[in-house]
Amino acid sequence: MNAQTVQHELLMARRMARLGTETAFEVLSKAKALERQGKSIIHLEIGEPDFDTPENIVEAAVDALHKGWTHYGPSAGLPELRHEIAKYVSRTRGVDVFPDEVVVVPGGKPIMFFTMMALIDEGDEVIYPNPGFPIYESMINYVGGTAVPIQLHEERDFALDVNELAALITDRTKLIILNSPQNPTGGILPREDIEQVACIIGERNIMVLSDEIYSRLQFEGQPFSILQVPGMRDRTILLDGFSKTYAMTGWRIGYGVMRADLAAHITRLMTNSNSCTASFTQIAAIEALRGDQSAVDRMRAEFQRRLEAFTAGLNGIRGFSCRMPRGAFYAFPNITATGWKSRPLADALLEDAGVAALSGASFGQFGEGYLRFSVANSTENLQQALVRIDKWTKRNL
Ligand SMILES: Cc1ncc(COP(=O)(O)O)c(C=O)c1O
């Protein structure tokens, strides 16, 4: 046989079979394909603010480029930014955080990836919220851990049941993931629940990954972090970033706050993977933290206003019932009364009604019976989506 015609089999590493994905990106490409066929689609699938990055941050980046911030920097992040993040986290969480406890990475996601890589051995158990951000489960499985879901309950406004958590903890539990405000439900973990989680962990050497990427998008009250509970500091990895707060999803910048010895290991993972986060982006992030915060407040108020209108609209549609989320920018209606399963309903709404939403089941087994709509779209489009869904249900239910 001619050597040039041999088709070699692609021999993947076994671990790749355990890696999941994020359905939002798949639904987006399906919706785009329908648009190319001439269909009108309202996009409520993707989880990113529809606002532009505030001008002062853009200006800071442009200026940084002109000033030559185009080179490699330290793997853990620029000292000025780590200092600024330490100040910000100290201020917002009321604990003293130091720059050597901060690692700057390209987005919030790498903190999940690196935390699992650094802490989880084969067979270690990781408890994670379900329904929840799909990358948690994907990464736990990828590194060979055992994914242990803790159910979030609609009747508790999508908080977890602390007694259920207690029952899931074993000698193999290495890490517990918390996320508040939460994707996809918009629920928050009340302070009492977080304190109880810490109480249940007690003196056990269990780490907590606290995903607080939506902390500035909580509608009422001050967000509370497990970092603030006495005794939890050295067992907490706080994940936060700029994507959602400052509408900077495409810039790829986020950070983790953790004990300094773990930060050094996570930094080594950065050296091995990305070398560093883009330098001019980090200069812009300093401006984001130091500059005028009114854009953040405006965006939060706008998301809340849209969610109030959208959930009210959903509650008027046959078979849908939706709680008002307490944060983030997602509505998570219960659709069991439609008699449809989540996935076929999401498909039908996309194909027949021209509304792109995500199946709750793509956020884990306990997401079945729900859909997720992102309200990162204009009021007009959100209203139009409600009209389309209403018409569809009248025709089909
Ligand atoms: C709960 C949660 N954590 C982390 C992220 C990742 O954010 P980033 O885009 O900064 O990587 C997201 C993004 O959708 C999210 O919903």
pLDDT digit string, tens, across residues 247-281: 999 999 999 999 999 999 999 999 999 999 999 99
- Which of 21, 133, 177 is the best mutation target for the ligand 1 pocket, counting ligand atoms within 8 Å of the beta carbon and taking the most? 133
Ligand 1 mean position to 213 CA, how many Å? 6
pTM, two decimal places: 0.97
Per DSSP, 108 falls in state: S
In this prediction, residues 19-40 reach a mean pLDDT of 93
- Which of 116, 183, 245 is the best mutation target for the ligand 1 pocket, counting ligand atoms within 8 Å of the beta carbon and taking the most? 183
SS3 string of 121-190?
Answer: CCCCEEEEEECCCHHHHHHHHHCCCEEEEEEEEHHHCCEECHHHHHHHCCCCEEEEEEECCCCCCCCCCC
In this prediction, residues 129-140 reach a mean pLDDT of 97
What does the pLDDT read at residue 1? 53
Residues touching ligand 1 (Cβ under 6 Å) are 47, 107-109, 133, 179, 183, 211, 213, 241, 243, 249, 254
**Distance between first and last Cα of the chain:** 60
In this prediction, residues 327-349 reach a mean pLDDT of 98
As a whole number of angstroms, the distance between CA 201 and CA 364 comes to: 24
Q: Is the pLDDT of residue 23 over 90?
A: no
Ligand 1 mean position to 357 CA, how many Å? 18
Ligand 1 mean position to 294 CA, how many Å? 22
As a whole number of angstroms, the distance between CA 324 and CA 310 comes to: 9
As a whole number of angstroms, the distance between CA 275 and CA 382 comes to: 41
Question: pLDDT digits over 85-106, tens only?
Answer: 999 999 999 999 999 999 999 9
Question: pLDDT digits over 324-334, tens only?
Answer: 999 999 999 99
Question: pLDDT digits over 200-253, tens only?
Answer: 999 999 999 999 999 999 999 999 999 999 999 999 999 999 999 999 999 999
Q: What is the mean pLDDT of the chain?
A: 97
What does the pLDDT read at residue 24? 87
Ligand 1 mean position to 240 CA, how many Å? 9
Residues 343, 371 contacting (CB under 8 angstroms): no
> What is the number of the ligand 1 atom nearest to the C-alpha of 179?
1
Q: Is the pLDDT of residue 72 over 80?
A: yes
Q: Is the pLDDT of residue 2 over 70?
A: no
- Which of 213, 240, 245 is the best mutation target for the ligand 1 pocket, counting ligand atoms within 8 Å of the beta carbon and taking the most? 213
Q: Is the pLDDT of residue 110 over 90?
A: yes
Q: Is the pLDDT of residue 48 over 90?
A: no
Ligand 1 mean position to 47 CA, how many Å? 8
Of all protein residues, the one whose alpha carbon is nearest to atom 14 of ligand 1 is 47
Ligand 1 mean position to 374 CA, how many Å? 14
Ligand 1 mean position to 181 CA, how many Å? 12
- Percentage of residues in the chain having pLDDT higher than 90: 96
Ligand 1 mean position to 214 CA, how many Å? 8
As a whole number of angstroms, the distance between CA 30 and CA 294 comes to: 36
Q: Which band of pLDDT confidence, cut at 50, 70 and 90, is reported for residue 3?
A: low
> What is the number of the ligand 1 atom nearest to the C-alpha of 328?
16
Q: Is the pLDDT of residue 374 over 80?
A: yes
As a whole number of angstroms, the distance between CA 358 and CA 28 comes to: 10
As a whole number of angstroms, the distance between CA 282 and CA 271 comes to: 17
What does the pLDDT read at residue 22? 87
Ordered alpha helix ranges (H), the chain: 23-36, 55-66, 79-93, 109-119, 134-142, 162-168, 191-201, 260-273, 279-290, 294-315, 342-348, 379-396
